[in-house]
Amino acid sequence: MRSLKMRSRWRIAAGILLLLSLVWCVRIMTCSAAAGWLMHAEHYGAAFQAYGIIVLAAAGVLTLAAVLCFLRIDRSAAVLAVTGWLPTLIVMFIVCSRAEKAGWSGQTAVSFGRTAVQVWREALIWDFVPAALILLLSLTRYCSQDNRARRAAEKAKKEADAPSVFD
């Protein structure tokens, strides 16, 4: 069994990595792609406006999951991490398939020479990093021996016979 000092070191490093990946992958990359869809919805179509709203909501859910992870509300954080990541993944597959069928390419100097599929995939695919870190941090803390013993003691206390009213 690892020492408490070693466990806290890797948890601190994972927490810092979670914050950095949340800012870069979710808040900058994913929200930028969704904002682009929302700003250019008249060119892409109404479906892309809905996709942008879905992805922004999923980014908000991932952010909430990270906050809950840091607040040690582990089960909710794990569920929200998956709930925030799956819509982004599904929307990425839908959007990339539509862009690939249409043959869309980048229009700016930054994206010139790259297709829209490449740009959007690079923006959205990295959301799995903060989701995986949230799952790792939440589930390792939730399944730790200390927390299992505490939950077992609380359950035993609740299941203990109540004192008699007649005594």
Q: What is the pLDDT of residues 90-111, one digit of tens each?
A: 999 999 898 888 777 666 555 5
Report pLDDT digits (tens) over 114-150.
777 888 888 899 999 999 999 999 988 888 767 677 7
Which distant-in-sequence residues (6+ apart) come within 8 Å of 121 by Cβ?
A: 92, 96
Could you tell me if 76 and 68 are in contact, meaning their C-beta atoms sit under 8 angstroms apart?
Answer: yes
Report pLDDT digits (tens) over 53-71.
999 999 999 999 999 999 9
Give yes or no for residue 164 having a pLDDT over 70: no
pTM metric for this prediction: 0.80
Which distant-in-sequence residues (6+ apart) come within 8 Å of 56 by Cβ?
A: 31, 34, 35, 38
Could you tell me if 95 and 52 are in contact, meaning their C-beta atoms sit under 8 angstroms apart?
Answer: no
Give the confidence band of 156 by pLDDT, cuts at 50, 70, 90: confident
Give yes or no for residue 2 having a pLDDT over 60: no
C-alpha span between 151 and 31 (Å, rounded): 38
User: Which of 130, 124, 24, 145 is CA-nearest to residue 70?
Assistant: 130
C-alpha span between 103 and 42 (Å, rounded): 18
pLDDT at 5 (0 to 100): 66
Dihedral sign for Cα atoms in the order 13, 23, 92, 110: negative
Q: Which of 22-36, 82-96, 101-115 is predicted with the least confidence, judged by mean pLDDT?
A: 101-115
pLDDT at 109 (0 to 100): 53
Q: Which amino acid is at 35?
A: A
Q: Rounded to the nearest 10 degrees, what angle do helices 74-102 and 46-70 cross at?
A: 160
pLDDT at 4 (0 to 100): 59
pLDDT at 120 (0 to 100): 87
Q: Which of 27-31, 53-57, 79-83, 157-161 is predicted with the least confidence, judged by mean pLDDT?
A: 157-161
Q: How far is CA 3 from the centre of its chain?
A: 29
C-alpha span between 96 and 106 (Å, rounded): 13
C-alpha span between 124 and 101 (Å, rounded): 19
